[in-house]
Structure 1
């Protein structure tokens, strides 16, 4: 990595370091992730998050490890509606496997730090009876025995431990008020902890880099309704990966219960967790109640971002130059699109009330975000604004984007079709093409 790349990376991650500090993240690692060679790096990155002031609850699962133990013991296992039926003998095997895993994860997070990038750090890992379980009971005549679900979570205890910089670690076994042990899913434990602690995020891992679209590209963002449609589609490839489909179901519930964002990343890619959390575009799929991109009326705080967008286009002659002072006086006409505090798009709608029309102007999209039809979205917003103001038409002047405007429903127009005041300002040297859309 070149020095400039390093400097740029640190600068771009700094806002996220500040935003995440003091927040509660629940990280869920399934047994598939635990047994992967990259798990050591994942734990190192989790330790790094802890040193950055992020409050962490780490929940681990053990499905493949339990299955391997059952195979070794030549023991059978029954399921009902996807839930492992845990009798007394099964529970002893589950406790044996998960107990060993808990000790191993604790050791990796602490004693091995001298051989990791976190050398010199002190990580305190705490486990305990933070989750109180209850039996699932008998469903459709099937006794689930020691398979359980979450009854209660000791929120105050967990919060006290997190406030003193401990990492809270929890496996899939929890005790009941009667002193019995129950086998729960890691997804339910992680989700309920995140909901009841009002965590900022829940993060899960799978062999997939995220949820893929039809062209096998990672979908950066999904609303709960979109995620539900994917789960309902039995042909979608997430159903080929149990860790992914189980986490998506958990993420839907978490989002709808107040957890701001849930993230799915690959346990196979070194550094995927850090790239997802500390870069604007991430690397996996995040599940959100509202899009990370928000359109709003521009205000004085957006001046710098708008100038950053339009200055290069002004220098290329694509846009007419506007001074900062002029822009400040025209802010009421601008709409902006923000993504995590960065202005990635803007457009202006200038009214000409006497002629019952408006001008569509100053459309600019950040170079890194021009591939997702954001221009179309801004045009739609401009059309809606012009219609709301009661205008009958929208016009635009352009030197380079003629075909785009024609594709959007504009038609070629003449100079005399412009409002008289706009005709007087028309720059004959630029020879901009005039386009018009009926509203």
Structure 2
């Protein structure tokens, strides 16, 4: 590790510095849940206002997820070449401008296009936040810091739908994107003033397309990296099935108001925060791989429970229990999967972080249309997709990260 990196690590080790970095990097990590969850309560209203269907409006989620994946593939290697700050600040500025375009979109098609651009900007924040953590930490310390980020970024799923529901009581759905614009500008200002460069010049690589592609190819040939990344991505797909369908299922099928739906969604987000903090306290005493196994197993059990409750047409009070179990498992899975996947790749942390994010969001994008195909008149399509991806995540993790015989 270079002198600059050692200095930064020492600085972040102190409590005030740790808190400052956790707030900034946690805010960057919160781009996805804020940009997705905050407008979920408005989806039914948006469909009416834009004279569009529920599946078409769900494509605004798919478009954002695809944009996040593509943006990370570009921003990750760029941050390995030019340092973390310049690509980050450029992405934050792009996010703010695109959020304004979303707020004024007159049609669903233009809104979908605006969401793609918005996601390209958000991707820089997400991928570079993970790369910064890898610049500064390794081993158990990195897992603990990722768990600390869950406290900040995990609050986003709690606050976003609640805030979105309250904004909808005051202004039309376009006001949600105005709030996201303010968030982007605020985070741009904070990052410009308070986030130093974490990748010193001697650790940067020249920006060449050939070397970038070879780096990605090497990561994809790494069986263990692929296992951790793909299992996290498959679990994210199950989570996105819930995110994209829950607004329609809980409000249209079970008759909840936007405010009641926001409270249930927020309770699941609180589960992520609690699980993440428990993980941060016990990691070191319990191996990361063991904690990841527990998280993936809990997710699979919760997904199957949601499907059973939906097939049996059980009351909402029964459905929300396995739903809470599955969503909360994110707090165990993501810190450990991220730390284990990035631990062996300190010299191309941006590219590794990008591929880790792509696995999550590309596979996650598959879940939204699958739920849409099943329709929005029952909870069965949501439960089936959630269960399938959660079980697949556990199987992929078990097979690909299993140690081979000597």
TM-score normalised to structure 2 length? 0.27
Which structure features the higher share of strand residues? 1
Larger RCO of the pair (alpha carbons < 8 Å, separation 6+): 2
Higher helix share: 2
TM-score, normalised to structure 1, is: 0.25
The structure whose Rg is larger is 1
